[in-house]
Amino acid sequence: MVGIRAYSAYVPWYRLGKGTVGWASSGERPVAGHDEDSITMAVAAAVDCLAGLDRSSVDGLYFASTSSPYQEKLAAATVAAALDLREDVVLRDITGSLRAGTMALLTAADAVRSGGKQVLVVAADVRVAISGSDLERSVGDGAVAFLVADSDLVAALEDSYSVYDEIYDVWRANGDSTLRSWEDRFSFDEGYLRLLPRAVSQLLTRNGLSPEDLSRAVLYAPDVRRLREAATQLGFDSKAKVEDPLFSAVGNAGAAFTPMMLVSALEKVEPGERMVVGDYGGGADALLLTVQPAAAGVPRRLGAYLESKEVLPDYRSYAQWRGLIEVAQGRRRPPPPVPSASALFRERRKNISFIGVKCRNCGEPQYPPQRVCSFCHCKDDFDEYRFSDRRATLFTYTLDYVGSSLNPPLVVGMVDFEGGGRAMLELTDRRIDRLRVGMPLQMTFRRLYSTEGFHNYYWKCMPPRL
């Protein structure tokens, strides 16, 4: 039996909402911060998903996104390195469709059936639409992660069914920075309302099931009205059976949209319940799941992410983060350093995996890696030590109001790690009036800067959100 062993979701801290000047919508929309993208959000979701589990037992990682920071480079490799996975894990980038998340989930299930033990699936998207458009008000940013395995399951994948068709409804061509869409009536009638119900109904028919046999339906939808139409067409007349699409709290998060609804559903169902998942994008995927007894002990995290938020004061900040407008970033703005592929390669363990050392003689962890112990002065007698999953406290900090930052002021702190070790790191997703010496912190994988086609990633720290 193959299915989901562990899962988690990640919702960015920042929001466009009622308090945002220039945002004309009654609902909230989570937006990736100035230092976030689909890779960093995927890492955040994966860290939560793997909490308490042995990372060395992961045999594969599939990264699903329509907004990978690279058009030609394996993004899954960056995610795997940030998670400090084994070097022999099987990696895949799955993209090009809004249902890339369920595509990756089904592909991972096939891999496990074929002999793989555990495959980590991460889906993340940063969705950018034309400023002021209806589409901009409906999309959001976020990420999910699932650990697909053949034992200790939270939900078993019983069957699946897929259909496709060639249609332009929502798309983004090479070189486009924003989404495009066709006339709504055509997109809904000839695309969504024709294909998604077909996939779901065929799956139920093949398994001899009716809507009455299921406790919940997790259905992709472009809006509330079309969700009701699709649910009615399928025979799910009870609103209680149809999972909340989180339109007012998250919005359509692309490849992570339907998988995030699945996470929301898994946090509410009871062992023994059956559910159907319907995803859409250039066709449709339908999945039949049965909740297992292990689901009763899984932590509920999505709600905490939705409650932990900071509403942006103005739309201009968001537009600047997405490159829609250019705004001065401070009086002292040195040019970004010219990156070196060879230097990035040499320091990948230190910077991407955030690996330090632990002295074999005195047991003190230290970062960055070094040859001579700062405490007992032994030389070349260390073991590798991962700091990225360690909690920390703020020893001291400084605020820089004139330095270069897309979210001023720049906050740099000296951080003490639980169990030993100290590092100087940037603080992100923070409120200046809440900074305190001694406050708890957690690590978060972020982007430092981008230049000449390089995205330079590193670890920062932030106040805990869970």
* Tens of pLDDT, residues 23-62: 988 889 999 999 999 999 999 999 999 999 999 999 999 9
Same domain for 313 and 224: yes
Instruction: Encode the chain in three state secondary structure.
Output: CCEEEEEEEECCCEEECCCCECCCCCCCEECCCCCCCHHHHHHHHHHHHCCCCCHHHCCEEEEECCCCCCCCCCHHHHHHHHHCCCCCCEEEEECCCCCHHHHHHHHHHHHHHCCCCEEEEEEEECCCCCCCCHHHHHECCEEEEEEEECCCCCEEEEEEEEEECCCCCEECCCCCCCCEECCHHHHHHHHHHHHHHHHHHHHHHHCCCCHHHCCEEEECCCCHHHHHHHHHHHCCCCHHHECCCCCCCCCECHHHHHHHHHHHHHCCCCCCCEEEEEEECCEEEEEEEEECHHHHHCCCCHHHHHHCCEECCEHHHHHHHCCCCCCCCCCCCCCCCCCCHHHHHHCHHHHCCCEEEEECCCCCEECCCCCECCCCCCECCEEEEECCCCCEEEEEEEEECCCCCCCCCEEEEEEEECCCCEEEEEECCCCHHHCCCCCEEEEEEEEEEEECCEEEEEEEEECCCC
- Indicate the pLDDT class of residue 132, thresholds 50, 70 and 90: confident
Q: How many domains does the chain have?
A: 2
Mean pLDDT value across the chain: 93
> Residue 291: which CATH number?
3.40.47.10
* Per-residue pLDDT tens digits for 136-192: 889 999 999 999 999 999 999 999 999 999 988 888 888 887 888 888 788 888 889
Same domain for 358 and 313: no
Which of 391, 384, 389, 388 lies closest to 356 in space, CA to CA? 384
* Per-residue pLDDT tens digits for 261-289: 999 999 999 999 999 999 999 899 999 99
Q: Which of 321, 355, 383 is the last residue of a domain?
A: 321
Same domain for 280 and 173: yes
Same domain for 376 and 280: no
Position 333 in a domain: no
Same domain for 169 and 90: yes
- Indicate the pLDDT class of residue 329, thresholds 50, 70 and 90: low
Range 234-239 average pLDDT:
83
Q: Which domain holds residue 397?
A: 341-462
Same domain for 394 and 307: no
Neighbouring residues of 455: CB distance < 8 A, sequence distance ≥ 6? 37, 39, 69, 70, 447
CA distances 350 to 61, 64, 397, Å, are 21, 26, 22
- Per-residue confidence (pLDDT) for residue 171, from 0 to 100: 82
Range 79-103 average pLDDT:
96
Give the torsion through C-alpha atoms of 205, 272, 218, 28, to 10 deg.
170
Same domain for 111 and 80: yes
Whether the pLDDT of residue 311 is over 80: the answer is yes
Whether the pLDDT of residue 353 is over 60: the answer is yes
Q: Which of 321, 351, 375 is the last residue of a domain?
A: 321
- Indicate the pLDDT class of residue 332, thresholds 50, 70 and 90: low
Per the model's pLDDT, the better-predicted residue between 117 and 376 turns out to be 376
Whether the pLDDT of residue 330 is over 60: the answer is no
Amino acid, single-letter form, for residue 345: F
- Indicate the pLDDT class of residue 361, thresholds 50, 70 and 90: very high
Residue with tokens 């995205």: 455
Share of the chain above pLDDT 90, in %: 78
Degrees to nearest 5, angle at CA 191 with 189 and 197: 85
